[in-house]
Amino acid sequence: MLFSSISFLYYFLPIVLILYFAVPFKFKNFVLLIASLFFYFYGEPIYTLLMLATTVSSYIHGLLIDRFRDTKWSKVFLVSSVVTSLLVLGFFKYTDFFITNINVITRAEIPLLKIALPIGISFYTFQTLSYTIDVYRGEAQVQKSFVRLATYVALFPQLIAGPIVRYTTVEAELKERTHSFSNFAVGFNRFILGLGKKVLLANTLGELCEIFRASNEKSFVFYWVYALAFCLHVYFDFSGYSDMAIGLGRVFGFHFLENFNYPFISKSVAEFWRRWHMSLGTWFRDYVYIPLGGNRVSKLKWFRNTLVVWFLTGFWHGADWTFIVWGLYFALFLLLEKFFLGKLLAKIPRVLSHIYVLFVIAISFVIFNANGMGQAISDIGGMLGLQQIPFFNSETLYYLRSYGVVLVLGIVGATPLVKRAVEKFRTIKAGDWILTVGEPVVQIALIVVITAYLVDGSFNPFLYFRF
């Protein structure tokens, strides 16, 4: 079930809100758990059992790790938990990838299993891993209530698309949290903002990307329009879903951490990744990079650690060489910035460092979206003027005119300009009054427009469902 669907907005969510706020606090987690399981079951009936099995495994392993703390068995159960979770993730997500590559290398003809990828498995696997690892480290108390742990794992606002919520972030709120009209209003406003980003911007930009891919009249400029559109599409799609998750979490009394912080204003690739998908970046930092030694090791080992983390980051996104190359591509620029590019970027005018980052990011997401490395190389060749295509043509002009407004809105919306303007306007007495009165009006107008778009439109994908 998509957040950006009529069934969710006008059936599922209202019913869940009524039930949730109607019951005493001791039953609220149970209501959320049942609602979350139904939410997942609606799209993945069979794989709901897999998610429950993963939760049961984490619950039992957590109890055993705590029961045998300060003995060798505690580490044994930690390793068992990690291996079990990764094997399940690996089987469902990567089996056909490995079979395909074995067939290519050995010329064998092993049939593909063609296993359907369970929605959200990459997200909830990382969340259950964070739980057992933090219990082992002593950074989290073992959860003895299965309902609370299952609520954490299955919590529908962040279940299928993140952000990756650490157990320690919501540990206290699973037991006791505050509900208020203020929290509800802030959360609902954040949800509507994310819904608008997803439906009005991401979906429209996604349409332009589909048009480019189907076109037989490409040009040099059209390649760059496509690269820009896809960068913005991914950003508004994923950050929009993160906004909706954070907003819904706030409505139910949870405070999830931010996942995006205007990454396209970055002056270096390293800064970009401190602002983009922050929950994934910090997860790999705390559970892979630092345990490997981080940067407090020899240069050779630090080089290894960086490559391992970015190989895994790419591989986490999908079972294809394009994702691995995408991850290692970022590793290359992070290493270059660490050794010498960083000093150069600090000296040159800000506009030049900004152009450098945007160029690197545009190329990266063209690789990310390619259907195989052959298409990635072809697309990059088109962007660099290495194909026998015109610089500009009538078809490019037509689609620039058709999608020019949404591209401009996307560019402006990807910066903090609007947020800063609103904050400055709010410091004026009349401005604060206007915003207070106008905010509900804008929200209602957005809901009406979004609903009309959803009823009329058919293009409503979500990129991260395949992860």
- Give the active site residues: 317
237/174 Cα distance (integer angstroms): 28
Q: Radius of gyration over alpha carbons of the chain, in Å? A: 23
The amino acid sitting at 10 is Y
Cis peptide before 118 (omega within 30 of 0): no
Closest CA to 276 of 330, 324, 223, 226: 330
Buried b (16+ CB within 10 A) or exposed e, 317-338: bbbbbbbbbbbebbbebbbebb
How many other C-beta atoms are found inside a 10 Å radius of the C-beta of residue 280?
Answer: 20
18/375 Cα distance (integer angstroms): 49
How many other C-beta atoms are found inside a 10 Å radius of the C-beta of residue 260?
Answer: 20
Residue 105 backbone phi and psi in degrees, to 5: -75, -45
Query: Tokens 């079990």 sit at which residue?
Result: 84
Segments of 134-270 assigned E as strands: none
369/231 Cα distance (integer angstroms): 10
Residue 458 backbone phi and psi in degrees, to 5: -120, -15
Query: Tokens 């609520």 sit at which residue?
Result: 151
Q: How many CA atoms lie within 13 A of 93 on its CB side?
A: 22
Residue 29 Cα distances to 174, 185, 257, 295, 420, angstroms: 7, 21, 20, 41, 37
| CB 157 within 8 Å of CB 244 | yes
241/228 Cα distance (integer angstroms): 20
